[in-house]
Every structure is written in structure tokens, then in C-alpha cells.
Amino acid sequence: NMPEPNRMAKVYFVDVPNAKQSEIRIGYLGLSRTHPDFYATSVMNMKLGGNFSGDVNMVLREEKGFTYGARTGFSGSKFPGKFTASSGVRSNTTEESVNIFKNLMSAYREPISEEDLEFTKNVTLKSNARRFETLGALRGMISNIATYGLPVNYIEDQEDVVRNMSVESHNALVNKYIRPNEMIYLVVGDAATQLDGMKSLGFGDPVLLDVNGNPIK
């Protein structure tokens, strides 16, 4: 399970005066690449923000037009990586955008529909089939086996993970690894116009930082 040094979400804001855009990063410590749940979490994340048709991109880009792209994902190496939700949005949409991320992650904790799960599984299996059509991709696979001590047939194991995923197991993964009320919320933008809006997240007063990450009193 993930370490939980600080169970309550916290909001940080790096001031870039007069910025026309805000960079949003939300997340916390995640899993190592070798954790048994690592691949399953990437499949679980797909509908939330793992591809273009993920929830966060569909709302923030396609519906609202606040950004050129929004995504969520897990990264990891031999050491624990992180879960991150990210986007760059127009400055005057910052408060709404951060709340949309929070609300979509909260809503994602409800069970996925059978249709959406089947779509996720089909997309994942098809993209897996295309993953090894080039020499470079095969080299990457061999590198993964060597670097992370994976079994030679790890791709088949991953496909089994996809095929065996149920609504229940998907929901269990979401509730274990997507916990928006425990994440760090970081916004880089114009504090004069956007800082106060961060209080609407409900996680207390945001901590104002300078560009070097030092608290501004």
C-alpha cells in the first residue's frame, strides 16, 4: 500500500505575477514499477485520464475549452513513483479547473459501468498488440525485462490482468489509489488573481511559495 505521511490534502501556490496561464499538478506518492498493482492501476486510470478520451480531457478541453490537454497517470521505476493529474489552463479558469479535477477524481470512485470497462479493456488490448510492431519497441520490452526483473512473458501476464479486470476489482483499485482528499494540489500562476480561489477546494488556506519553492510569509 502507498505510504501516507500526510492524510489530509494540502494546496500550494507558486506565484508567477501576471501569468496568463496556470500550471496544475495534483498527486502524491505512488507505486514502484515492480509493485504487483502497478500495471493494473494504469489500466484502471485509462478512463479517468489515461488517453485523449479520458474524463479530465473530455471536460477540461472538449467541453470547457480551458486547455489543450489534461491527463492523469501513474509513473514508477525501481522506486515508488507518483500519481499525477496535470494540465495547463487559461489563468481565469484556474479555480474552476482545479475543482473539476478534484470532482472528477471523486466521481471516479463510484463503480465504472460495464460498457466503459469493456471499452477500456478493448482499447488496452488493441494498443498492446500494436506496441511491439517495431524493433525499437521490442528493444524496450527486453530492457524492461532486464531492468525490472520481469518474467519473459510479462506482456501475456499484463493481458491477463486486463481480461480479468471486473467492475469490482476496478473499483477497488480506484478507491485504494485515487484519493483526492489526500493529494497535494500545486498551482503555478498569478497569485494576485487566482490564490484566493484555491480556498474553494475545502483544504484550508493555500500555502504561497516563491519560484524556488520557499514559503512567502
User: 216: which DSSP letter?
Assistant: P
Question: Is the pLDDT higher at 47 or at 2?
Answer: 47
Asked whether the predicted pLDDT for residue 153 surpasses 60, the reply is yes
* pLDDT value, residue 136: 87
3 state DSSP class of 29 = strand
Is the separation of the CB atoms in 88 and 23 below 8 Å? yes
Tell me the pLDDT tens digit for each residue of 189-209. Answer: 999 999 999 999 999 999 999
* pLDDT value, residue 1: 52
Q: What is the pTM of this model?
A: 0.93
Residue type for position 208: L
Tell me the pLDDT tens digit for each residue of 98-149. Answer: 999 999 999 999 999 999 999 999 999 998 877 777 888 889 889 999 999 9
CATH, domain 10-209, list 3.40.640.10, 3.40.1790.10, 1.20.58.220, 3.30.830.10: 3.30.830.10
Q: For the chain, how are helix, strand and coil distributed in percent, rounded to 5? A: 50, 20, 30
* pLDDT value, residue 199: 97
- 89 CA to centre of own chain: 16
